[in-house]
Amino acid sequence: MTILITGGAGFIGSHVVRLFVEKYPNDHIINLDSLTYAGNLENLADIENKPNYTFVKGDITNEVLINELFGKFKFESVIHLAAESHVDRSIKDPLAFVKTNIIGTVNLLNAAKKVWEGNFENTLFYHISTDEVYGTLGETGLFTETTAYDPNSPYSASKASSDHFVRAYGETYGLPYVISNCSNNYGPNQFPEKLIPLFINNIINNKPLPVYGDGNYTRDWLFVKDHAKAIDLVFHKGKQGETYNIGGFNEWKNIDLVKLLCRLMDDKLNREKGSSEKLITYVKDRPGHDLRYAIDASKINKELEWSPSVTFEEGLSKTIDWYLDNEGWLRNVTSGAYQRYYEKQYGKQ
């Protein structure tokens, strides 16, 4: 099988590409990524010379390029992860999210439809999405696959729109598709603008830990390698035209998570107990901040027999170890443009 994976140089994409390249040596994996600030080929250095792997640098919004690639490689399926993915950036520049997340997705759908139409057998467009499309929960309840879409940020609105387009191509043109909506991921290779890697990096450097609002926001955290395994299952065994919610059964209030992270970091860095917690600084809240996300993952659990393989403490400990062992990676991604972003978002420290 020839599989196009978009966004494979990013956080989740790089784990998915590695899993597929190593587990399916007879499949050809083409990783298409435009290498934005969040894309990093260092993430895939260990598999870049595998015979069943090809990297193409390119933008999913480029119609000519995408049509050329479909013609050249004859993709039979697509796993679409490329996206602008950070809520705070979407608040500053919504149009970038419309371009990549909506127009880029429709561009891929058009190319797939053009090449596959007439013989959809053995083809699949797998769209990777987020639980943020469902909006926010109150103190109770869980997002299920039938929860109505109610996005609140420009990021989640753009992802919701792309989900709708994928479904519409299925209904209107018969394009075989599947969608999964996942909760917050954490793990190695995540760009340090998201909560966990940002705070690990700041603790290493003794910088303030900027907790938004009162810190009582809740997220459901999943280890990235468990998400990659779920994607493998949905791709190979999921039912066409269905949505699968993927979650960690693992809800944490931000402030409790940050305190756990501080305790683990003190231990690993041999620092005095309580020293990282002193870095916690409450800052202005994110506009439109969603109170709580939590996924009901019982469908994928029952139908595809998936469940997370590591506990949060294990996953978080592995994640911290990875960042401590890969300071070079961290240094490379936190220079230049990152510094400018950080100062714009949090002010000079």
Give the active site residues: 131-132, 155
Q: State in angstroms the smallest separation of the CB of 199 from ligand TYD.
A: 7
Which of the 8 DSSP states describes residue 153? Answer: S
**DSSP β-bridge partners for residue 297:** none
Query: Applying CB under 6 A, which of residues 5, 7, 195, 226 lies at the interface with ligand NAD?
Result: 7
Site string (295-324) toward ligand NAD, x via CB under 6 A? ------------------------------
Closest residue to ligand NAD, judged by C-beta, is: 10
Query: Applying CB under 6 A, which of residues 5, 12, 124, 295 lies at the interface with ligand NAD?
Result: 12
Site string (25-64) toward ligand NAD, x via CB under 6 A? --------xxxx-xx-------------------xxx---
Question: In this structure, is the dihedral angle defined by the CA atoms of residues 128, 340, 261 and 209, taken in order, positive or negative?
Answer: negative
Q: State in angstroms the smallest separation of the CB of 319 from ligand NAD.
A: 13
- How many positions of this chain bind ligand NAD (CB under 6 A)? 30
Q: State in angstroms the smallest separation of the CB of 30 from ligand TYD.
A: 28
The answer to whether residue 106 forms part of the interface with ligand TYD (CB under 6 A) is: no
With contacts defined by CB under 6 A, name the span among 3-11, 274-282, 304-312, 319-327 that binds ligand NAD: 3-11
The tokens describing 80, both together, are: 């679409």
Q: How far apart are CA 11 and CA 233, in angstroms?
A: 19
186: CB partners within 8 A, 6+ apart: 194, 196, 197, 221, 222, 223, 224, 315, 316, 319
Query: Residue 245: phi, psi to the nearest 5?
Result: -85, 135
Among ligand TYD, ligand NAD, none, what does residue 9 contact (CB within 5–8 Å per kind)? Answer: ligand NAD
| In the block, residue with structure tokens 């420009």 | 154
The answer to whether residue 137 forms part of the interface with ligand TYD (CB under 6 A) is: no
Q: State in angstroms the smallest separation of the CB of 37 from ligand TYD.
A: 15
Among ligand NAD, ligand TYD, none, what does residue 226 contact (CB within 5–8 Å per kind)? Answer: none
Q: How far is CA 107 from CA 58, 113, 312, in A?
A: 13, 10, 37
Query: Applying CB under 6 A, which of residues 217, 223, 244, 323 lies at the interface with ligand TYD?
Result: 217
Per-residue three-class SS string for 38-89: CCCHHHHHHHCCCCCEEEEECCCCCHHHHHHHHHHHCCCEEEECCCCCCHHH
Residues in region 247-286 near ligand TYD by CB under 6 A: 254, 286
Q: How far apart are CA 120 and CA 324, in angstroms?
A: 47
Contact 77/123 with Cβ under 8 angstroms? yes
Contact 261/313 with Cβ under 8 angstroms? no
With contacts defined by CB under 6 A, name the span among 77-85, 196-204, 299-307, 315-323 that binds ligand NAD: 77-85
The residue (of 123 and 180) whose beta carbon lies closer to ligand NAD is 180
Tell me, rounded to whole angstroms, the distance of Cα 290 from its chain centroid.
Answer: 18
The residue (of 31 and 152) whose beta carbon lies closer to ligand TYD is 152
Contact 219/118 with Cβ under 8 angstroms? no
Q: Is 224 left (phi over 0), alpha (psi -120 to 50) or beta?
A: alpha
The residue (of 83 and 124) whose beta carbon lies closer to ligand TYD is 83
Residues in region 222-241 near ligand TYD by CB under 6 A: none
Q: How far apart are CA 14 and CA 189, in angstroms?
A: 8
The site for ligand NAD (CB under 6 A) is made up of 6-7, 9-13, 33-36, 38-39, 59-61, 81-85, 100, 104, 128, 130, 159, 182, 184-185, 191
Binding residues vs ligand TYD (CB under 6 A)? 87, 184, 194-195, 198, 210-212, 217, 219, 254, 286
